[in-house]
Chains A and B, each alone.
Chain A
């Protein structure tokens, strides 16, 4: 028995190392890139260990700095995994359920990196065991930091357990037992909120620091975490989609972007509330905020940083608020990068440093991290990224069945059961260039008896779709009462009259186009066509070139075939 278990483990580890450590050139490049930073960080840390925290720019005046800033930010990223779990399991939103494990692994990696930041910051990290109950003397419940240690490690265990449990079942080709999994998942939701709340309370409870001692701090923590976490996820998902055979749908990404918009709205509102309170009452408590946003007594090193963050956050908010920029991958990605950097500044340096400026005896010491702090921090970030890369590779391998017990049944994806776009589409695609005139398009539509066609650029990549509706609307757009009457019948939603003028295909087409992949299952095609009130959907390949069209009649035929 023991031998068998041992052999099983060896088998698993061998499989694991194969899917985790063997990869493409890009993978090795990425890992080597990270390794360089990790090694630099280790070198800098050894130096810090020998010399003491003197090598940082922290001093008694500003006694927490870059490490604690990054710690705080990473805790926020970890807490945001909850954003994925809630819709996945409470409302069974399938597209997100599929990717939830990536959120959980992100949480695990972020917490591990956050813990490393704590280790880098402590003067005596080798005495960590003083905080272990039973071994040391954890000051619970008096110390909020003690709470934080419990909550952090608890969250780490919870997420590790959930992901390992799911992974284990995938490995053996079984469905995880809901009765076991669900309670832990449900527990992880309040736990994530609690995690970031408790971390906020570490600062919030210090009456000596008016900048932190405002009740709005914990809500602001949560709101900003719910921006930065999903923003990171969106970027990661697109990278995954590009580099691996793992499929993540636009729908899931759009949902996340929408959440960011709401969270950022709340975040900006809370910030505004705080700024109003401090500036209008204009008491001594204003000083740290003034230092941050305007500079205080001629000291203003953080001012450019916080205004960059504020601008980034506002721009990103607008990008995510507008459906057109939210659904466009380019503007979406710009928004994500802006959110991530904006929140990193705001919830990192912008939160921790002003807590100490001016210090409790009114002194101003302008802190900026030393190169050792930057190197160690970069090392920890790289380590986190490395860890996450490996987690993700394992997760994908488990999901796609590349990492599987030899005796496990073969992978059957739910969607594979039914027909897909490639099975029902008509492959005869007539496309036009944007400069094609409307007259020509009309002729094509009539002669081929079709209701719409894709518009492609020079590389054959789809840039829009032109339909009868677009042409009809072009004719009536100058008659507002007609628009009102007909608009809902002939127009896809989210299009505005101002887009509908011109004489070429490019000017009046619907862009960005709604497309499907060859693998998109029938069920989803039905959903898209009914939800968006369109008559056909263009099917594109990996490079966005149209390869087919699924029209309503194709769907009707497919459905008929299934029922027969």
Chain B
């Protein structure tokens, strides 16, 4: 094992040398300094520390505010689950925009990790969903709403198809992306049945006064052009014990979050006391995102 790592490091080192000579003519702006970074999962604790520090400096300089980039690992005996009460949701999109504020997606290309769908009552056919409803007031007569975001599948089809292992499921069940390892092939986007994955078609742009400097390496740290990103259940918050931003933003309290392994958690209460369903369960993705109805609406 020791041997293998050092061989790989050697290969990388040669690649760096080769690359450096090739790139010496290129301007730094084109390729950036991230070309020869190690994959996050293979970094030693010291390397992680170094990288986090470097990123903090880089982001702090770029956005003019003190950044914190953490890599808080998963807690033991925690498996995150999410509940969404369809009998409550009014489709106001507060969650969508709270998520944007929290997670630093590009404002210019308008990346949003949550999509609110408006459905006619009596219909659950996504093909008949309206994505762009914009009435004066919600809820609207005769409609209900289904917000969709990453379902944090236990059997994630997106992870399986990634050719370079740039995305994986963490021990607490969150599916994350190493933005520095993603090659931007977008196979995961084709594989995701929930359209949870978003691509940076352009260099992300976030106004300085809208940046959230409290970040996680695998979560809301600023991304770059050409990589895929997705909802991480606000890993930067939830790994610290806090609720995700969408849960706190929901004005009707339709969003529930907690530890599936804790019998006293809110999410377990939902599963045990209400009838829940998961989107496209026939695809065997085993989402940890449970839709439920706490009452008639």
Contact = CB atoms under 8 A, between A and B. Distances in A.
User: A and B: direct contact (Cβ < 8 Å)?
Assistant: yes
Residue among A54, A144, A360 with most chain B CB within 10 A: A360
A205 interface: yes
B127 to A, nearest CB: 4
B138 interface: no
Contacts of A169: none
Nearest to A122: B184
Interface string A56-71: 1011110110000000
Interface in B224-240: 225-228
Residue among A49, A53, A56, A61 with most chain B CB within 10 A: A53
B115 A130 contact: no
Contacts of A123: 182-186, 199-200, 225-228
Contacts of B163: 131, 138-139, 143, 145-146, 149
A135 B11 contact: yes
Contacts of B115: 361
Given A129-B15, A358-B127, A60 B183 contact: no
B166 A362 contact: no
A297 to B, nearest CB: 8
Contact of B165 (A126, A129, A137, A203): A137
B30 interface: yes
Contacts of B181: 127, 130, 137
A53 B201 contact: yes
B131 interface: yes
Interface in A103-147: 118, 121-131, 134-139, 142-146
A59 B201 contact: yes
Contacts of A362: 117, 125-129
A122 B117 contact: no
A51 B202 contact: yes
Given A52-B200, A143-B163, A126 B35 contact: yes
Contact of B131 (A137, A206, A363): A363
A209 interface: yes
Interface string A256-290: 00000000000000000000000000001001000
B202 A206 contact: no
Contacts of B225: 52, 123
- Tell me what chain A mostly uses at the interface: helix, strand, loop, or mixed: loop
Contact of A208 (B39, B192, B201, B226): B192
B183 A127 contact: yes
A355 interface: yes
A130 B183 contact: yes
Interface string A349-371: 00000011011111100000000
Nearest to A130: B164
Contacts, number: 159
Contacts of A341: none
A202 interface: yes
B195 interface: yes
Contacts of A64: 186, 190
B156 to A, nearest CB: 11
B205 to A, nearest CB: 11
B13 to A, nearest CB: 11
A26 interface: no
A512 B181 CA distance: 62
B294 interface: no
B203 to A, nearest CB: 6
Nearest to B148: A361
B165 A124 contact: no
Interface string B149-190: 000000001001111111000000000000001111111011
B161 A52 contact: no
Contact of B161 (A124, A136, A143): A143
B193 interface: yes
A207 interface: yes
Given A145-B187, A208-B283, A130 B166 contact: yes
Residue among B161, B183, B184, B195 with most chain A CB within 10 A: B183
Nearest to A146: B163
A359 B117 CA distance: 13
Residue among A61, A122, A126 with most chain B CB within 10 A: A126
Nearest to A297: B127
B42 to A, nearest CB: 8
B226 A284 contact: no
B189 A60 contact: yes
Contact of B193 (A54, A126, A134, A208): A208
A209 B184 CA distance: 19
B8 interface: yes
Contacts of B125: 284, 362
B11 A139 contact: no
B191 A139 contact: no
Given A53-B201, A63-B199, A134-B8, A139 B190 contact: no
A144 B199 contact: no
B183 A361 contact: no
Contacts of A355: 190
Given A135-B11, A205-B161, A362-B125, A124 B190 contact: no
Contacts of B12: 135
A134 B226 contact: no
A52 B203 contact: yes
B161 A125 contact: no
B199 A138 contact: no
B31 interface: yes
A54 B195 contact: no
B164 A137 contact: yes
A560 to B, nearest CB: 67
B198 interface: yes
Residue among A61, A124, A144, A209 with most chain B CB within 10 A: A124
Contacts of A124: 182-184, 226-227
Given A130-B166, A139-B162, A362-B117, 5 more contacts: A60-B197, A123-B185, A131-B183, A137-B164, A208-B192
19 contacts: A49-B30, A53-B184, A118-B185, A122-B185, A123-B186, A125-B183, A127-B184, A134-B8, A135-B8, A137-B165, A143-B162, A143-B187, A207-B193, A208-B192, A284-B127, A287-B127, A361-B194, A362-B117, A363-B131
